Amino acid sequence: MQRRHSLQEIAHLIDADLKGDSACLITGIMTLQNAQQGQISFLDNKRYLKYLAITQASAVILRGECLKHAPSNALIVADPYLAFAKVAKLFERDPECSPGIHATAIIGENCHIHPSVSIAPNVVIGANTHLGAGVVIGAACVIGDNVVIGANTRLTSHVSVCADTQIGERVLIHNGSVIGSDGFGLAKDNNKWIKIPQLGKVQVGNDVEIGANVSIDRGALDDTIIADGVKLDNQIQIGHNVRIGENTAIAGCTGIAGSTHIGKNCMIGGGVCINGHIEIADNVYITGMSSVVHSIRSPGIYSSTHSTQPQREWQKNSIRFRQLDQLAKRLRKTERLINNKSIDLD
């Protein structure tokens, strides 16, 4: 059944100043350039201002300064992107999951499974595991022994949750992620590596989202901890004993080495490499492809990479980079010569 919401309802939801027809019905949400009649759109970045005059959307969410360019119906807010996120929830497609355990699922001994839980085909659940109310376990998930999963948490298909892991409430884990596998702990004995048993576990807080193909290693001794409200994109590697503070968001393909502590409300861009055994303060923003070698103790924006440039320029600059030490020595020698001449003139 198609969902319909009046502009009056939407304006109330996002606390917007409504300009236009409050009774206009909205049936979906789309980008400015692709929206059709009956859909709502938004303008947050001025680079898309050119689409505002030609959009077919029935209404647009925007800032007051852009109102003069808007179509007949407009919702004026301070933060259009946040408003968009709230409105999009109205049209989110909720997967249909009926309570019950599929006949092909294998359930271990002494499990506590709430009657409202939905377990899809080919799921395997170990012994002594607890699944809270409203939990949804997607097809072909594997859950180890002694796992606790809190109420209204959803695992999509092919998620692995290893033994002793604790997952909070309202958590969403996407396809193919592995929570609680062994950390990379090795000691060298002459020319051979000796595996260090990983005796800790993983604790995931409430309202966490974990993207597809994320790996979160269990602790060696202390636990690996993902605090409340953390958001993880796809293909992130989190080493053993890592701690990630509340409401931190990390983009895809980032790797975090073991025993690093990341503070609250941080934003970490894609492809960032973070060294082990360091600390990152609260409210730190690290731009994509950066390499973090040392602790960051103060809030702020940090970067460590060079932007793309034409290939011939890059070749020249790469050569000059290799010559930096030699150029620095020549500069110091030149400075000494100048200083000596200045002394002679005096």
Q: Are 104 and 86 spatial neighbours (Cβ–Cβ below 8 Å)?
A: no
Q: What contacts 340, CB < 8 A, 6 or more positions away?
A: none
Q: Are 3 and 9 spatial neighbours (Cβ–Cβ below 8 Å)?
A: no
Which of 23, 24, 53, 59 has its CA nearest to residue 41?
59
Would you say how long the chain is, in residues?
346
Q: How far apart are CA 298 and CA 280, in angstroms?
A: 8
Is 338 strand, coil or helix? helix
Catalytic residue among 12, 130, 158, 240: 240
Q: How far apart are CA 85 and CA 87, in angstroms?
A: 6
240 catalytically annotated: yes
Which of 178, 185, 215, 213 has its CA nearest to residue 200?
185
H helices, E strands: number in the chain? 4, 39
Helix (H) or strand (E) holding 80: helix 80-90
Q: Which are the catalytic amino acids?
A: 240
